[in-house]
């Protein structure tokens, strides 16, 4: 498991590096956004710890750019912020961050967060089909199986072999919500409320960006969404029949 740490305050970067390396993670450190993008082009870390306040290009921009690069396995991105008010920017701007952490932090808690995110990555690399095991906590539709315990979703569509979907945590929540209620029409505000609760302050259209990203991973034919359908003038619904 490789972790890239992007933090311009060198002392903080060093503390993070030390506590993660002592837990057995391989870490690389860089101090600005440009270097982060360059490094990201050279190797693919499993997780990126990304400070928001960076000289030049800020962390949100770095996050957005990383999410725009198509790769086999999207890295998890944990944003660091020193201010509570940045949290709604992290969530609201749909930059694609998976989690955030407010500084000052306790190294132990940070390690716990990192572990929680990486556990998901380990599960996602399990062989396809393992979600078919007969356990509780599975939700199935014709083309999808959601494993709530393992926190993963697989697609088994027509003739294709089962495919594990690599989803961010908000995409996972969104997809679970849809699959639990096939045919139900959701307004944008309702989806936002379910995803982020009262933490959200911003444009309702933000949800469209998340839907677009989810469709890319879920739909076999992007031009003609089959599962996540737009309901004109209202919002979205999920159909799988």
CB of 72 to Ca ion, least distance (A): 30
Q: Which is nearer to Ca ion, 39 or 165 (CB)?
A: 39
- Angle, helices 169-180 vs 188-196, to 10°: value is 120
Using CB under 5 A, which residues numbered 33 to 62 contact Ca ion?
Answer: 51, 53
- Residues sharing a CB contact under 8 Å with residue 56, sequence separation 6 or more, in sequence order: 32, 33, 34
Residue with tokens 């503390």: 15
Choose, by CB under 5 A, the member of 2, 8, 219, 240 that binds Ca ion: 8
Give the E-state strand segments of the chain in sequence order.
2-6, 26-30, 47-51, 76-81, 99-102, 138-140, 144-147, 152-155, 163-165, 185-187, 228-231, 235-238
Tell me the CA distances in angstroms from 194 to 157, 178, 225, 237, one per residue in order: 27, 11, 22, 14
Residue nearest to Ca ion (CB): 53
CB of 44 to Ca ion, least distance (A): 24
Find the angle CA(127)-CA(128)-CA(134) to the nearest 5 degrees.
Answer: 100
Q: Which is nearer to Ca ion, 62 or 175 (CB)?
A: 62
CB of 92 to Ca ion, least distance (A): 20
CB of 55 to Ca ion, least distance (A): 8
86 binds Ca ion (CB under 5 A): no
Of 3-11, 22-30, 37-45, 178-186, which segment contacts Ca ion by CB under 5 A? 3-11
Of 5-13, 15-23, 114-122, 226-234, which segment contacts Ca ion by CB under 5 A? 5-13
Number of residues binding to Ca ion, judged by CB under 5 A: 3
**Contact positions toward Ca ion, by CB under 5 A?**
8, 51, 53
């Amino acid at each position: 498991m490789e972790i890239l740490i992007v933090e311009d305050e060198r002392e903080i970067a060093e503390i993070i590096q030390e506590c993660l390396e002592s837990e057995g993670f391989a870490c690389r450190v860089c101090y600005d956004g440009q270097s982060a993008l360059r490094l990201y082009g050279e190797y693919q870390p499993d997780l990126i710890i990304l400070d928001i306040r960076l000289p030049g290009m800020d962390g949100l921009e770095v996050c957005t750019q990383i999410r725009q690069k198509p790769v086999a396995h999207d890295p998890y991105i944990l944003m660091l912020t020193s201010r509570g008010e940045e949290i709604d920017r992290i969530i609201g701007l749909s930059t694609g961050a998976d989690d955030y952490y407010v500084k000052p932090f306790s190294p132990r808690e940070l390690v716990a967060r990192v572990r929680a995110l990486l556990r998901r990555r380990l599960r996602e690399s399990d062989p396809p089909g393992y979600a078919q095991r007969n356990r509780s906590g599975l939700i199935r539709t014709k083309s999808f199986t959601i494993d709530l315990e393992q926190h993963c979703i697989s697609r088994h569509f027509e003739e294709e072999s089962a495919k594990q979907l690599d989803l961010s945590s908000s995409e996972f929540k969104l997809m679970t919500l849809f699959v639990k209620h096939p045919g139900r029409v959701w307004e944008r505000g309702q989806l936002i409320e379910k995803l982020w609760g009262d933490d959200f302050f911003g444009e309702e259209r933000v949800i469209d960006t998340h839907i677009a990203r989810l469709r890319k991973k879920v739909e076999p034919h992007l031009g003609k969404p089959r599962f996540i359908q737009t309901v004109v003038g209202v919002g979205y619904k999920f159909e799988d029949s």
